């Protein structure tokens, strides 16, 4: 059985290291002193491939990141291959989750709702938990809240296929009650692993449970939204959950203001939306 805690801890270390590199990159100081030549993040589709940085990579210096040069190791229980610091591809993370029985929701769910979208999406959306429609179809945000989320994403110039959409927990709580702490705790290593695998530049946290889980706070969404929060080098923008916006349409203006900050930050990072965002 794979040690999920250790993998989680290692995944967090990778996140921190990546955050540092991103900050250096943003500051234009890619060259780090001495040591072995660094390699870029491993392609999730080809985790064992030795990537060649070449000269067009933007990484013109050398860096001492010995850990990234360690050999790859096979995972005992799945036979899959993973990289030294626990970074696994999305299919590997899904395989590891298996037919999960780590919490009591496994007794009532119809489907495990893992996530949908691009495996290298720069933009990730994290909601709370699957509802009835999602549980039936095995896909996040396909009910009424999902329709509104789709509109929000399209208005930003993106699509369900070009971003990544998931929830803090993968199974529907009975009657759509709030996720309980033990359920969030059981699923969190897999949320962490998805974040590490996809390595988004920005995460939009939809609603208080998602924002609180991602940021380790219990502050209300109204206190968190409207500004970026750093999470190991990844920017997190908390905003209102689309289900809340369906009940309180007057708050759509605030949510759109949050999403415009996300669009501006993506543009600042040089990441182009595949579609045409609404002005
Ligand atoms: N609400 C969520 O938070 N997630 C879903 O997938 C659907 C509704």
pLDDT in tens, 191-245: 999 999 999 999 999 999 999 999 999 999 999 999 999 999 999 999 999 999 9
- CB-based contacts of 3: which residues, under 8 Å, 6+ apart? none
Closest CA to 192 of 5, 23, 22: 5
Residue-wise pLDDT tens digits, 55-82:
222 222 222 223 322 333 333 333 344 4
| pLDDT number for residue 263 | 98
Q: Relative to the CA of 241, which ligand 1 atom is closest? A: 3
pTM of the model: 0.72
The string of DSSP codes covering 152-185 is HHHHTT--TTTSEEEES-SSPPGGGPPPPHHHHH
**Alpha-carbon span 113 to 126, nearest angstrom:** 12
Average pLDDT over residues 248-276: 97
**Alpha-carbon span 210 to 126, nearest angstrom:** 6
| pLDDT number for residue 254 | 98
To test ligand 1's pocket by mutation, which of 117, 136, 140 has the most ligand atoms within 8 angstroms of CB? 140
Q: Relative to the CA of 128, which ligand 1 atom is closest? A: 3
- Domains of the chain plus CATH, in order, are 2-26+44-69 (no CATH), 90-268 (3.40.470.10)
- In this structure, how many other beta carbons lie within 10 angstroms of the beta carbon of residue 257? 12
**Alpha-carbon span 147 to 155, nearest angstrom:** 12
Which position has the token pair 């899904």?
94
**Alpha-carbon span 218 to 208, nearest angstrom:** 8
Cα of 128 vs centre of ligand 1, distance in Å, is 6
Q: Are 93 and 197 in contact (CB under 8 A)?
A: yes
Ligand 1 residue neighbourhood (C-beta within 6 Å):
127-131, 134, 140-141, 143, 145-146, 167, 243
Q: Relative to the CA of 167, which ligand 1 atom is closest? A: 4
Residue-wise pLDDT tens digits, 151-197:
999 999 999 999 999 999 999 999 999 999 999 999 999 999 999 99
Segment holding 96, helix H or strand E: helix 90-97
To test ligand 1's pocket by mutation, which of 130, 160, 209 has the most ligand atoms within 8 angstroms of CB? 130
CA dihedral 174, 4, 228, 127 (to 10 degrees): -20
């Amino acid at each position: 059985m794979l040690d999920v805690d250790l993998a989680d801890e290692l995944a967090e270390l990778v996140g921190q290291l990546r955050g540092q590199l991103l900050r250096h990159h943003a500051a234009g100081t890619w060259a780090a002193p001495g040591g072995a030549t660094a390699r870029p993040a491993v392609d999730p589709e080809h985790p064992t491939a030795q990537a060649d940085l070449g000269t067009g990579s933007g990484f013109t210096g050398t860096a001492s990141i010995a850990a990234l040069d360690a050999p790859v190791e096979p995972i005992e229980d799945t036979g899959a291959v993973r990289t030294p610091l626990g970074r696994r591809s999305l299919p590997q993370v899904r395989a590891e989750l298996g037919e999960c029985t780590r919490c009591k929701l496994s007794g009532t769910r119809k489907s495990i709702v893992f996530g949908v979208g691009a495996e290298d999406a720069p933009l990730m959306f994290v909601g709370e938990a699957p509802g009835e429609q999602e549980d039936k179809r095995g896909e996040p945000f396909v009910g009424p809240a999902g329709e509104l989320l789709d509109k929000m994403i399209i208005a930003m110039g993106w699509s369900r296929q070009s971003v990544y959409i998931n929830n803090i927990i993968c199974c529907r709580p009975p009657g759509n009650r709030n996720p309980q702490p033990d359920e969030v705790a059981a699923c969190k290593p897999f949320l962490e692993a998805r974040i590490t695998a996809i390595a988004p530049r920005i995460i939009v946290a939809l609603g208080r449970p998602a924002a609180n889980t991602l940021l380790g706070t219990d502050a209300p969404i109204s206190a968190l939204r409207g500004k970026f929060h750093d999470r190991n080098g990844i920017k997190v923008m908390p905003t209102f959950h689309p289900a809340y916006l369906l009940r309180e349409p007057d708050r759509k203006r605030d949510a759109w203001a949050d999403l415009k900050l996300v669009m501006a930050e993506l543009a600042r990072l040089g990441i182009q939306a595949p579609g045409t965002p609404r002005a």
